[in-house]
């Protein structure tokens, strides 16, 4: 009886030991299975040198534009033309009320006449030695100052009116008769209308501006004329950025067009720079988390079992390739197949 109990106890211990060993093996097996290894493929990174076009939007305008104003301030007496009217060079467009200005001219004339009389009197006294040389010199200076003041008053009166400086069209009328206008404040905007004198002004970034030169070719499309393409050349490049939008203005002169053009037409311009630029080329499937011009690529770490995530800047798409404008240094291979399933903690194997 004691022998039978001892035998049963040994058998139970053996069974418990076997069960514990199998449980440990199962736990170890589960831990290994949880560590997922993702198969990936690599693609070589290349370079290409290209003169990529610069695309920008702007408005059609005339190369001859004028913002017309009065030389002096005052009350507007007449506004003789309205928006949309065609005007010729030298045509009278607006006048000021001359009551105050004429009074200033009269004052200057009276002051000049008095200065003439004073100088004549001092000269006679000086001849009789009754006046000093200093008195005669002061009278002479007073006469000169009075004449200059008269010239200023007459000049201001001549510019108390506005005449067109170009043959063109009134694109904007800012004020109306009866309003007070300050000196130099814009009253009319005039745009020239000579055939073959149309331009498009667009803004470009500093990197694109550096690649452009005067005379570079351009193609222009207008929303007003779908399907039509107009040729042009760069006629001017701004030498300073706009303080508001930080872009550099580029003026494109349009070749003679057989269609009717007007200021303000919306245009899309493609500029073709003469200067080439080097780009890094990667497959499009290597780009992850793309957002506009920004994105990331995965590359193998030094141990070739883990990965690193690197930021890149996208320049252009070229079929199934992406041209990078700011690639990380030393970039030779990128992960393609399997990149969509990766995180920076992923373990990988190259297939």
DSSP string, 3-58: HHHHHHHHHHHHHHHHHHHHHHHHHHHHHHHHS-EEEE-EEE-EEEEE---EEEEE
Both 284 and 333 in one domain: the answer is yes
CATH code at 117?
Answer: 1.10.287.470
Whole-angstrom distance, CA of residue 34 vs CA of residue 260:
71
Query: At residue 284, what are phi and psi to the nearest 5 degrees?
Result: -65, -30
Mapping DSSP to helix (H, G, I), strand (E, B) and coil, where does residue 264 land? coil
Give domain status of residue 145, yes or no. yes
Q: Chain centroid to CA 80: how far?
A: 37
Both 155 and 113 in one domain: the answer is yes
What does the pLDDT read at residue 123?
92
For the chain, how many structural domains are there in total? 3
Give me 183's structure tokens: 């000196």
Both 59 and 44 in one domain: the answer is no
Whole-angstrom distance, CA of residue 203 vs CA of residue 197:
20
Give domain status of residue 295, yes or no. yes
Q: To which residue do tokens 């007496």 refer?
A: 77
Contact 272, 217 (CB under 8 A): yes
Give domain status of residue 320, yes or no. yes
Both 287 and 254 in one domain: the answer is no
Give domain status of residue 75, yes or no. no
Q: What is the DSSP letter of 218?
A: E
- Among 231, 247, 271, the domain-final residue is 271
Give me 159's structure tokens: 């510019």
Give domain status of residue 131, yes or no. yes
Give me 255's structure tokens: 């070749």
CATH code at 319?
Answer: 2.40.420.20
Helix (H) or strand (E) holding 86: strand 86-87
Mapping DSSP to helix (H, G, I), strand (E, B) and coil, where does residue 206 land? helix
- Among 224, 242, 271, the domain-final residue is 271
- Residue 118, Cβ density class (10 Å: 0-12 exposed, 13-18 middle, ≥19 buried): middle
What does the pLDDT read at residue 149?
95
Both 211 and 261 in one domain: the answer is yes
User: What number of CA atoms fall less than 13 Å from residue 305's CA on the CB side?
Assistant: 4
Report CA torsion sign: 222, 224, 230, 232: negative
What does the pLDDT read at residue 84?
85
Give domain status of residue 94, yes or no. no
Both 131 and 152 in one domain: the answer is yes
Whole-angstrom distance, CA of residue 257 vs CA of residue 195:
8
Give domain status of residue 1, yes or no. no
Give domain status of residue 190, yes or no. no
Q: Domain span at residue 107?
A: 99-159
Helix (H) or strand (E) holding 311: strand 307-318
Give me 335's structure tokens: 């992960």
What does the pLDDT read at residue 267?
94
Both 202 and 141 in one domain: the answer is no
Q: Chain centroid to CA 4: how far?
A: 98
Give me 39's structure tokens: 């198969």
Contact 66, 268 (CB under 8 A): no
Both 259 and 281 in one domain: the answer is no
In DSSP terms, 75 is beta-bridged to: 180
Give me 42's structure tokens: 């690599």
What does the pLDDT read at residue 222?
93
- Among 239, 255, 271, the domain-final residue is 271
Global pTM reads 0.54
Helix (H) or strand (E) holding 44: strand 42-44
Both 263 and 293 in one domain: the answer is no
Both 252 and 234 in one domain: the answer is yes
Contact 168, 190 (CB under 8 A): yes
pLDDT, tens digit only, all 351 positions of the chain = 444 433 443 444 344 444 444 444 444 333 344 567 777 777 777 788 777 788 999 999 888 888 999 999 999 999 999 988 889 999 999 999 999 999 999 999 999 999 999 999 999 998 888 889 999 999 999 999 999 999 999 999 999 999 998 888 898 899 999 999 999 999 999 988 777 788 999 999 988 898 898 999 999 999 999 989 999 999 999 999 989 889 999 999 998 777 888 888 899 999 988 767 778 888 877 777 767 778 887 777 767 777 777 787 787 777 778 888 777 776 777 777 766 666 666 777 777
CATH code at 202?
Answer: 2.40.30.170
């Amino acid at each position: 009886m004691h022998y039978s109990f001892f035998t049963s106890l040994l058998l139970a211990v053996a069974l418990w030991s076997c069960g514990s060993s199998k449980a440990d093996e199962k736990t170890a097996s589960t831990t290994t299975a949880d560590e997922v290894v993702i198969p990936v493929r690599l693609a070589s990174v290349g370079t290409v040198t290209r003169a990529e076009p610069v695309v920008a939007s702007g408005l059609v305008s005339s190369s001859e534009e004028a913002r017309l104003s009065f030389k002096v301030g005052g009350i507007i007496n007449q506004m003789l033309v309205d928006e949309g009217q065609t005007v010729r060079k030298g045509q009278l467009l607006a006048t000021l009320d001359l009551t105050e200005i004429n009074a200033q001219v009269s004052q200057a004339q009276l002051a000049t006449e008095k200065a003439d009389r004073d100088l004549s009197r001092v000269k006679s006294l000086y001849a009789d030695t009754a006046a000093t040389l200093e008195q005669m010199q002061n009278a002479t200076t007073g006469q000169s100052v009075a004449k200059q003041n008269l010239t200023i008053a007459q000049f201001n009166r001549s510019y108390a009116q506005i005449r067109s400086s170009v043959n063109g069209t009134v694109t904007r009328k800012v004020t109306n008769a009866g309003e007070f206008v300050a000196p130099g404040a814009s009253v009319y905007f005039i745009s020239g209308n000579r055939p073959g004198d149309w331009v498009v002004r667009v803004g470009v970034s500093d990197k694109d501006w550096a690649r452009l030169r005067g005379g570079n070719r351009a193609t222009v499309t207008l929303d007003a004329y779908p399907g039509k393409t107009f040729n042009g050349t760069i006629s001017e490049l701004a030498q300073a950025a706009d303080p508001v939008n930080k872009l550099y203005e580029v003026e494109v002169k349009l070749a003679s067009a057989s269609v009717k053009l007007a200021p303000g037409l919306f245009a899309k311009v493609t500029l073709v720079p003469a200067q080439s630029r080097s780009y890094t080329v990667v497959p499009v499937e290597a780009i992850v988390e793309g957002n506009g011009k920004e994105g990331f690529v995965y590359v193998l770490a030094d141990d070739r079992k883990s990965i690193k995530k690197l930021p890149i800047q996208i320049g252009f798409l070229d079929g199934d390739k992406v041209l990078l404008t700011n690639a990380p240094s030393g970039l030779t291979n990128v992960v393609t197949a399997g990149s969509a399933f990766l995180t920076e903690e992923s373990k990988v194997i190259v297939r």
